[in-house]
């Protein structure tokens, strides 16, 4: 690749902002990338800061996913236990059959919550 500004010279890299090839004379090293000297330095620095911020946010979001997985697992277990209590209560008295049905629904929801927590752990998605 050739330098965009000096076509007779080989490029040593590309600008982080505009993507043009740069020779050593035209390049400014910003530690985490190159920029066009006197043209793109501020823009390239903004791009580098944006990338750094995204890296920080992705580690934060990974912790949120783990917390969410734990919350969903706990909620699933809670719903299964409460559903079982409702089922037992509904079966103990003939006139409370509706409570049995509600218990089945709550257990079903608890199983769904456990499934979603497992899927969240596997996929890393919310």
Largest CA distance in the chain: 93
What residues have CB less than 8 Å from 27, skipping those under 6 apart? 12, 13, 15, 34, 35, 36, 37
State residue 126's pLDDT score: 44
Tell me, yes or no, if the pTM score tops 0.75: no
What percentage of the chain's residues is helix, strand, coil (to nearest 5)? 65, 10, 25
Mean pLDDT, consecutive 10-residue stretches, the chain (126 aa), reads 95 96 96 94 94 80 73 92 94 85 95 88 58
Q: Do residues 27 and 37 make contact, with C-beta atoms less than 8 angstroms apart?
A: yes
C-alpha to C-alpha distance for 58 and 61, rounded to whole angstroms? 5
């Amino acid at each position: 690749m050739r330098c965009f500004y000096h076509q007779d010279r080989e490029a040593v890299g590309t600008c982080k902002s505009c993507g043009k090839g740069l020779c050593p004379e035209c390049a400014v090293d910003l530690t985490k990338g190159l920029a066009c000297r006197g043209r793109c330095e501020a823009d390239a620095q903004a791009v580098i800061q944006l990338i750094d911020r995204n890296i920080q946010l992705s580690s934060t979001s990974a912790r949120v996913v783990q917390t969410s997985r734990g919350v969903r697992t706990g909620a699933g277990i809670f719903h299964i236990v409460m559903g079982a209590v409702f089922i037992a209560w509904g079966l103990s008295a003939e006139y409370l059959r509706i409570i049995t049905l509600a218990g089945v629904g709550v257990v079903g929801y608890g199983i769904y919550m456990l499934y979603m927590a497992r899927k969240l752990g596997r996929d890393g998605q919310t």
